[in-house]
Amino acid sequence: MSQVTIYLEPETLDIAKSAAARTHVSVSKWFSQLVLAEHARTQPGNLLAALEEIDRLHGTAGRDDLDFLLDPKTRNAGLGQDLPREPFDC
């Protein structure tokens, strides 16, 4: 993975940090997603190619063991039991 150095005004960095925190990702990941969104916006026909390149870079291309992300039973495994719902009284 490559490293990139960017220079931001303190206020701009605060905005980026807040946005990353709201989406529960690192600032680095947030900027990466920003770049992908811009790429998709400017070259919509190439989005699939961009996503395939991400899979290739992450070593996940062609892997079918990522299906756990689609199945709610396994995706949420290990989160524990939900609390019982409280009755709704009018």
Q: List pLDDT tens digits, range 66-75.
A: 565 566 666 6
Query: What value does the mean pLDDT take over residues 57-62?
Result: 62
* Domain residue limits at 15: 7-42
Query: What value does the mean pLDDT take over residues 34-51?
Result: 73
59 backbone φψ class: left, alpha, beta (φ>0; ψ -120 to 50): left
**Mean pLDDT, all residues of the chain:** 77
Residue 22: inside a domain, yes or no? yes
pLDDT at 59 over 70: no
Residue 75 makes CB contacts below 8 A (sequence gap 6+) with 68, 69
Indicate if 36 and 50 belong to the same structural domain.
no
pLDDT the model gives residue 60: 58
d(CA 54, CA 56): 5
pTM score above 0.85: no
Indicate if 52 and 31 belong to the same structural domain.
no
pLDDT the model gives residue 68: 55
